[in-house]
């Protein structure tokens, strides 16, 4: 595949897109594991979303 | 199951957990096919190989606008119907739409330099797209800086509805004003002006990016629901501690 005299611009466009999409994927995956971890910690301490007190 | 059942966050989470792996797999397949077709598409007779940037730039532009349209519908849900998932959907769409708008602007700039001879001009299409990015940043600032989430959600919803005025301006800017940017060439009266050998990979890439948007949006909505549960539980914990101390 020959990208011609403007290959740098094409490669840069694909690189930026890959970087931004990777950042979005990392954001949703890391955020999900963080929220799951915090929820797990709270539930282990007996805290619920309803006013049931401890347990 | 009625559509209204999706209004229940727990049911919504169950559905998302089931469908997300399948949607992600479909997205990967679409990208594999789309990128293969894009890399093997013929060069444009005028632009040469730089036409390959179009396979990123055009879908990103569509999804940047789609994200705002989605936020506007969600804003109606927040302000008018107070749908439990409306604000969640709007908040989750904002960073994704902003990211696609950013990709559109950067890839457009990298495409413009070899084809127009400049990275940027203040013409109507480019400027209205930049305004869209600034609007996204404004919505994100409202969500991230509001001390009370409900107040931030209402302010963001109002900005989303006001900012929707920018969508037809972006779409028709190339018709209303004399711009360096080319007029619509995919969806237009009289059919597309793009050769099928280039149009087909463009449409596959657009479908792949749309699926990516859907996957990211559902995953971000799931995270936001969990974040709100964490907040509720922490408030419960604080209340119990206050009652125990009283």
Which chain B residues have a beta carbon less than 8 Å from that of A45? 237
| Cα(A44)–Cα(A38) distance, integer angstroms | 10
What's the predicted TM-score (pTM) here?
0.91
3-state secondary structure B133-160: HHHHHHHHHHHHHCCCHHHHHHHHHHHH
The ipTM assigned to this model is 0.90
Sign, CA dihedral B212-B216-B218-B219, equals: positive
Whether A16 and B229 lie within 8 Å, measured CB to CB: no
What local confidence, expressed as pLDDT, does residue A51 receive? Answer: 46
Tokens 């007029």 correspond to B183
Which chain B residues have a beta carbon less than 8 Å from that of A55? none
List CB contacts of B20: < 8 A, sequence separation 6 or more.
B215, B218, B219, B222
Q: What are the strands, taking DSSP E only, across B106-238?
A: none
Encode pLDDT of B152-179 as tens digits: 899 999 999 999 999 999 998 888 888 7
Encode pLDDT of B11-61 as tens digits: 999 999 999 999 999 999 999 999 999 999 988 888 889 999 999 999 999
What local confidence, expressed as pLDDT, does residue A43 receive? Answer: 87
Whether A28 and B99 lie within 8 Å, measured CB to CB: no
The structure tokens listed for B216 are 């990211």
Encode pLDDT of B124-137 as tens digits: 999 999 999 999 99
Chain A residues within 8 Å of chain B (Cβ atoms): 1-7, 9-10, 12-14, 16-17, 20-21, 23-25, 27-29, 31-32, 35-36, 38-39, 42, 45, 47-51, 53-54
């Amino acid at each position: 595949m020959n990208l011609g005299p403007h290959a740098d611009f094409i490669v840069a466009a694909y690189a930026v897109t890959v970087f931004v999409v990777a950042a979005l994927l990392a954001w949703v995956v890391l955020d999900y594991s963080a929220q799951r971890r915090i929820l797990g910690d709270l539930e282990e301490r007996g805290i619920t979303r309803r006013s049931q007190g401890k347990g | 199951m009625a559509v209204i059942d999706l209004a229940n966050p727990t049911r919504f989470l169950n559905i998302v957990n089931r469908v997300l792996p399948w949607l992600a797999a479909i997205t990967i397949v679409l990208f594999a096919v789309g990128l293969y077709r894009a890399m093997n598409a013929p060069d444009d007779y005028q632009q040469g190989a730089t036409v390959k940037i179009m396979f990123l730039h055009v879908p990103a532009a569509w999804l940047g606008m789609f994200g705002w349209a989605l936020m506007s519908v969600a804003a109606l849900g927040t302000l008018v119907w107070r749908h439990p998932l409306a604000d969640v959907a709007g908040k989750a769409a904002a960073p994704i739409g902003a990211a696609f708008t950013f990709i559109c602007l950067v890839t457009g700039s990298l495409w413009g330099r070899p084809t127009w001879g400049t990275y940027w001009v203040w013409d109507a299409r480019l400027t209205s797209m930049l305004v869209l990015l600034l609007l996204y940043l404004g919505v994100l600032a409202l969500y991230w800086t509001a001390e009370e989430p409900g107040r931030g959600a209402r302010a963001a919803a109002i900005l989303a509805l006001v900012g929707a005025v920018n969508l037809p301006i972006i779409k028709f800017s190339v018709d209303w004003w004399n711009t360096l940017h080319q007029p619509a060439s995919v969806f237009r009266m009289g059919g597309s002006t793009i050769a099928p050998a280039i149009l087909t990979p463009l449409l596959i890439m657009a479908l792949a990016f749309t699926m990516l948007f859907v996957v990211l949006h559902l995953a971000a909505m799931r995270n936001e629901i969990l974040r709100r549960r964490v907040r509720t539980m922490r408030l419960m914990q604080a209340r119990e501690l206050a009652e125990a101390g009283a």
